[in-house]
Amino acid sequence: MNVKNLIEKNKDYIVEMRRYFHMHPELSFEEFETTKKIAEELEKMGIPYEIPTEEPKTGVIGVIKGGKPGKTVALRADIDALNVTEKNDVEYKSQNVGKMHACGHDTHMAMLLGAAKMLKEVQEDLCGKVYLIFQPAEEVGLGAKYMIRQGNWFEETDNIYGSHIWSGVEAGKISVEAGDRMAAADMFKIKIKGKSGHGSLPNETVDAVVVGSAVVQALQQLVSRNYSPLDSVTVTVGSFHSGNRFNIIAGEAEMEGTNRYFSREIGERIESDMRRVIKGVCDAYGATYELEYKYILGPTINEEKSSKIAEKAVEKVAGKDAVASMQKTTGGEDFSFYLEKKPGCFGFVGCRNSKIGADYPHHNERFNVDESVLAKGAATYAQYAIDFLNGEN
């Protein structure tokens, strides 16, 4: 069963949906109108759905039951937008000032709705069940866990597929490699406590600016001298605040940052390694510290068999030349929570086309996509579901 012949039939609908969602962006856990629109579209298709009962009641879970018994596969799209003021001059420009689908989640919803239409047409030939997961709040890393708590769809699911439109990949190419795809994303906050005093009497103080600066430097060496150079690890201090007057030596400093890595083993030790380094620096200067560490997202790791299914699906709908190779990225994605419990694959649908200005990075106020790729992205969703349910590997 191949949905390639349904691409042309549904491409205009998919672009129409993408532009609608682009014009009406909503932030994480505020996707109320977006939820209503998705539900309306599924209702038009005759696809049963549920809206989460847990507050804030955003997101949609649709289900297509095949005409034959079999396994269960889930297809996921995220639905939230960002606090970005759009600068694109297009007819479908965001109508919600200060909010924009600057990461492409508008395309994800459109592609999954397009896949739903394709799967509905072949419903009687499906061997099993397909869940359509329209997930809120990916941008804040909370949506996947929220959706897992809704009903029993996740417990029933045998495999899951998701995809992300990707500005780093040429339009028309799709990457579905096995292994590490996106990094874990942790957050940390460090508070340094020294002793303030007059700038002319440094000997009577413990300078939090100096201590904090030494901590930043030591954390960079933590990576280069504690982890294998073959591992991808980053420790980033993104903000540093200390002091409020030119002639006062600061007694306190506060830093915030993020760690990125792909190995779960690194995730089990990086916090304790940081504590050891920070304590050592503070002890040397006579200061004390507090470290608040949060594990926000785990690494996104594609299962090998699922990636093979995805690769064959891409070949069927777009040809062998469409299968792309892409380096892993240190960006984070809460699809990782699904893959911690279930086998599956997360793909990247290339949308980069400099000829039409679709070459800005994600989260940029001029981010845009080559819409010609969306129908094949939708077909990949549908073909993956069909092939998994038919037992292909």
User: Which positions ≥6 away from 99 have C-beta within 8 Å?
Assistant: 25, 26, 27, 81, 82, 83, 84
**Residues 137, 22 share a domain:** yes
Last residue of a domain, one of 273, 297, 321: 297
Last residue of a domain, one of 251, 279, 297: 297
Q: Give the count of domains, the chain.
A: 2
**Residues 33, 164 share a domain:** yes
**Residues 73, 48 share a domain:** yes
Q: Is the pLDDT of residue 393 over 80?
A: no
**Residues 127, 75 share a domain:** yes
**Residues 241, 105 share a domain:** no
**Residues 93, 18 share a domain:** yes
For 115-151, the pLDDT digits (tens) are 999 999 999 999 999 999 999 999 999 999 999 999 9
Catalytic residue among 41, 78, 80, 207: 80
CA 315 from chain centre, in angstroms, equals 25
Mean pLDDT of 164-171: 97
Determine whether 80 is an active site residue.
yes
Give dist(CA 235, CA 226) in Å, integer. Answer: 12
Question: 33-38 — which CB contacts under 8 Å span 24+ positions?
Answer: 34/58, 34/79, 34/109, 35/59, 35/60, 35/79, 35/134, 35/136, 38/79, 38/109, 38/113, 38/134
Domain coverage including residue 150: 4-182+299-389
**Residues 334, 292 share a domain:** no
Mean pLDDT of 331-347: 97
Last residue of a domain, one of 280, 297, 314: 297
Catalytic residue among 78, 86, 138, 177: 138
Q: Is the pLDDT of residue 210 over 60?
A: yes
Confidence of residue 330 (pLDDT cuts 50, 70, 90): very high
For 11-32, the pLDDT digits (tens) are 999 999 999 999 999 999 999 9
**Residues 229, 147 share a domain:** no
Determine whether 124 is an active site residue.
no
Confidence of residue 391 (pLDDT cuts 50, 70, 90): confident
pLDDT for the residue 85: 98
Residue of 147, 117, 123, 122 lying closest to 133 (CA atoms):
147
Give dist(CA 329, CA 64) in Å, integer. Answer: 33
Question: The domain that contains 66 carries what CATH number?
Answer: 3.40.630.10
Question: The domain that contains 215 carries what CATH number?
Answer: 3.30.70.360
Mean pLDDT of 75-100: 98
